[in-house]
């Protein structure tokens, strides 16, 4: 087996923005630290409105003048495919840049994030010449058509939890559709996106089409949202920020938005499951993957009383088996928490829930790792009141809230959340029960007898209600980066 471990001090970080095909450094505004050991990695400059303006204007000019949108679409597809090949060739380098400042263990960035990113680029490349318009039924003296065209420049704002994969879900369909784009990664995970953009230029993408600006939400994110030359926004992050993004898009446009926001996803377990152990594995992975820092974390377990006892016992046993290693260690599989304030927020939420009556079945506590770092053990809380904070709020940490039920209607009622509707899991041997759940649950995605996305990029992902608007992945994500123009020609 290849040893994937590395030392953070041995890697060269691309520190800066990526503008007109070059890394632009200067400015030491934001300290980037590693959640794996708390060390200071670099100071990154912050783009204010002037730099965002330059990035947007550059992307607009290059998009207009380079022929990116007007070339044969297969030519664009060829560049994208080459980009995907380069991503794979630089897989180790990208994985290290991702792992060093994020919560993603090196085994997973090498084994999943980077291959998934490369294949995602290939997936969207395939749409370049597959979407056309219609010819309308008009009188023979007219030719009526609808044609799709890119917006020009799109803005993309990404979170820190899967920095490259999330950024690529915004940026790649936009570029494939013929747009230029300005991406802001999270200020906590700023490095890998710069290298990704560099590889795009190496693959043949015109320099300046895809620009990366670094900075915080208030200084840089807002400037992107409000920029008049940016015609469409794609945002992934919290619901609170998503609302701010939508307001800014309304006031500065209005311009369309794709919003992938938070969740509080339920997992329903019925008493006809064939294996408690298998379901326990699924539920455990669904709330501890990336230490719960996943939008679709299955953070609410709704379990039939007939199987509650053995299932909870199996989950509690698994909680005691995780070990904390820095993300760059070969043995790492469990993630740290991204920052100290976030760890404290999780612990406070658990404490407040216990004070409000929740029963702790497995404690969420700080864990030690050899190199330091911020780790919390998986926690399980039994809840009887739907108003409990741990039942209501997105924890974004490794904490599972549990309620039990007696009949199916009670389970469906418990699954409802007043704000979120991102995903849901249903674990049952009954096809008719599964179908009823699929039709009843208010969630953008329902998984049956599994939990989590597959590598089928064709399945769109996105939430209902407070979990967002629009879709990432799938044909829909590509189409969202095009606008429809109607044409009527007199032909006689
Ligand atoms: P966040 O909302 O704090 O930040 C997300 C991004 O928005 C960051 O780049 C941040 O700098 C930027 N930002 C902050 N304020 C802004 C503003 N006023 N204007 C413009 N940009 C601004 O979220 P986070 O903590 O980085 O990520 C975690 C959240 O993301 C969770 O709620 C999670 O559920 C959600 N998420 C959703 C999905 C999905 O597909 N639905 C995927 C991943 C994460």
Residues 65 and 157 in one domain: yes
CA of 239 to the centre of ligand 1 (A): 8
Is 463's C-beta closer than 6 angstroms to any atom of ligand 1? yes
Judge whether 222 lies within some domain: yes
Q: Please answer whether residues 386 and 399 qualify as being in contact, where contact means their C-beta atoms are separated by less than 8 angstroms.
A: no
How many angstroms does the Cα of residue 363 sit away from the middle of ligand 1? 27
Tell whether 462 is covered by a domain.
Answer: no
Contact 397 CB / ligand 1 (< 6 Å): no
Dihedral angle at the C-alpha atoms of 400, 405, 411, 417, nearest 10 degrees? Answer: -50
Q: How far is the CA of 315 from the centre of ligand 1 (A)?
A: 30
Inside any domain, residue 338: yes
Count of structural domains within the chain: 2
pLDDT recorded at residue 293:
98
Tell me the C-alpha distance between 205 and 224, whole Å: 22
Whether 279 and 187 map to the same domain: the answer is: no
Closest atom, ligand 1, to C-alpha of 159: 26
Which ligand 1 atom is at minimum distance from the Cα of 184?
Answer: 9
**Do residues 274 and 411 share a domain?**
yes
222 and 317 in a common domain = no
241 and 108 belong to one structural domain: yes
On the 0-12 / 13-18 / 19+ scale of CB atoms within 10 A, 61 is: middle
Q: List the residue whose alpha carbon is closest to atom 42 of ligand 1.
A: 295
CATH code, domain carrying 419: 3.40.309.10
476 in any annotated domain: yes
Residue 24 placed within a domain: yes
Q: Is the dihedral of CA 54, 60, 61, 66 positive or negative?
A: positive
In this structure, are 356 and 402 located in the same domain? yes
For residue 193, the domain's CATH number is 3.40.605.10
pTM of this structure: 0.97
* 238 Cβ closer than 6 Å to some ligand 1 atom: yes
Residue 365 CB partners (closer than 8 Å, separation 6+): 376, 377, 379
Examine the domain organization and report whether 105 and 254 are in the same domain. yes
CA gap 321, 209 in Å, rounded:
47
Q: Are residue 270 and residue 253 in the same domain, yes or no?
A: no
H helices of 320-418, in order, are 340-355, 389-392, 408-415
Q: Answer whether 361 contacts ligand 1 (Cβ < 6 A).
A: no
State if residue 163 touches ligand 1 by the CB under 6 angstroms criterion. Answer: no
Q: Whose CA is nearest to atom 17 of ligand 1?
A: 217
CA dihedral sign of residues 419, 423, 425, 430: positive
**Same-domain check for residues 231 and 273:** no
The residue whose CB lies within 8 Å of the most ligand 1 atoms, and thus the one to mutate among 238, 422, 464, is 238
Q: Residue 1: inside a domain, yes or no? A: no
Same domain as 477, residue 408 = no
Domain boundaries, position 46: 8-261+468-488
Same domain as 296, residue 157: no
Q: Please tell me the residue having the least CA distance from ligand 1 atom 15.
A: 217
Q: What is the structure's pLDDT at 41? A: 97
Say what the pLDDT of residue 2 is. 87
Type and span of the H or E element at 65:
helix 49-65
In a domain, 3, yes or no: no
Give the residue numbers annotated as catalytic, written as ranges.
Answer: 260, 295
CB atoms within 10 A of CB 64: 14
**Ligand 1 nearest-atom number relative to CA 248:** 19
**Which pLDDT tens digits describe the chain residue by residue (492 residues)?**
789 999 999 999 999 999 999 999 988 899 999 999 999 999 999 999 999 999 999 999 999 999 999 999 999 999 999 999 999 999 999 999 999 999 999 999 999 999 999 999 999 999 999 989 999 999 999 999 999 999 999 999 999 999 999 999 999 999 999 999 999 999 999 999 999 999 999 999 999 999 999 999 999 999 999 999 999 999 999 999 999 999 999 999 999 999 999 999 999 999 999 999 999 999 999 999 999 999 999 999 999 999 999 999 999 999 999 999 999 999 999 999 999 999 999 999 999 999 999 999 999 999 999 899 999 999 999 999 999 999 999 999 999 999 999 999 999 999 999 999 999 999 999 999 999 999 999 999 999 999 999 999 999 999 999 999 999 999 999 999 999 999 999 998
Dist CA 360 CA 388 (whole Å): 13
Same domain, 229 and 351: no
The rounded radius of gyration (Å) of the Cα atoms in the chain is 23
Q: In this structure, are strands 300-304 and 399-405 parallel, antiparallel, or unpaired?
A: parallel
Q: Is residue 19 part of a domain?
A: yes
């Amino acid at each position: 087996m290849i040893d994937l471990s590395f030392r953070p001090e041995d890697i060269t970080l691309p520190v800066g923005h990526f503008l007109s095909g070059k890394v632009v450094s200067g400015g030491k505004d934001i300290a980037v630290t590693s959640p794996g050991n708390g060390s200071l990695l670099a100071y990154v400059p912050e783009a204010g409105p002037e730099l965002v303006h330059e990035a947007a204007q550059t992307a607009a000019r290059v998009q207009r003048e380079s022929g990116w949108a007007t070339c044969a679409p297969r030519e664009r597809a060829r560049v994208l495919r080459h980009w995907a090949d380069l991503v794979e060739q630089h897989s180790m380098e990208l994985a290290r840049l991702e792992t060093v400042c994020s919560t993603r263990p090196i085994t997973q960035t090498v084994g999943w994030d980077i291959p998934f990113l490369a294949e995602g680029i290939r997936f969207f490349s395939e749409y370049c010449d597959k979407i056309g318009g219609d010819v309308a039924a008009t009188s023979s003296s007219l030719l009526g058509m609808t044609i799709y065209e890119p917006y020009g420049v799109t803005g993309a704002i990404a979170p820190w939890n899967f920095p490259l994969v999330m950024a690529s879900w915004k940026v790649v369909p936009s570029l494939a559709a013929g747009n230029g784009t300005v991406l802001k990664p999270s200020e906590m995970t700023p490095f890998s996106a710069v290298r990704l953009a560099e590889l795009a230029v190496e693959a043949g993408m015109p320099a300046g089409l895809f620009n990366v600006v670094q900075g915080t939400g208030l200084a840089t994110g807002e400037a992107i949202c409000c920029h008049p030359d940016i015609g469409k926004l794609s945002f992934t992050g919290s619901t609170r920020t998503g609302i701010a993004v939508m307001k800014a898009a309304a006031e500065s446009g209005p311009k369309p938005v794709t919003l992938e926001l938070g969740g509080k996803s339920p997992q329903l377990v019925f008493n006809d499951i064939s294996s408690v152990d298998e379901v326990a594995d699924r539920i455990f992975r669904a709330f501890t993957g990336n230490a719960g820092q996943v939008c679709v974390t299955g953070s609410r377990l709704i379990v039939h009383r007939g199987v509650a006892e053995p299932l909870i016992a199996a989950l509690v046993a698994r909680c005691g088996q995780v070990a904390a290693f820095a993300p760059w260690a070969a043995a790492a599989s469990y993630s740290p928490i991204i920052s100290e304030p976030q760890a404290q927020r999780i612990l406070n939420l658990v404490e407040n829930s216990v004070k409000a009556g929740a029963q702790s079945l497995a404690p969420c506590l700080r864990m030690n790792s050899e190199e330091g770092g911020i780790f919390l053990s998986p926690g399980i809380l039994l809840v009887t009141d739907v108003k409990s904070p741990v039942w209501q709020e997105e924890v974004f940490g490794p904490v599972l809230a549990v309620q039990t039920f007696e009949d199916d209607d009670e389970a469906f009622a418990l699954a409802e959340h007043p704000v979120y509707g991102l995903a849901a899991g249903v674990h049952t041997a009954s096809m008719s029960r599964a179908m009823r759940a699929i039709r009843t649950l208010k969630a953008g995605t329902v998984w049956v007898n599994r939990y989590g996305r597959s590598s089928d990029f064709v399945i769109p992902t996105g939430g209902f209600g407070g979990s967002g608007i629009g879709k990432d992945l799938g044909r829909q994500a590509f189409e969202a980066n095009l606008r429809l123009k109607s044409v009527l020609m007199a032909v006689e």
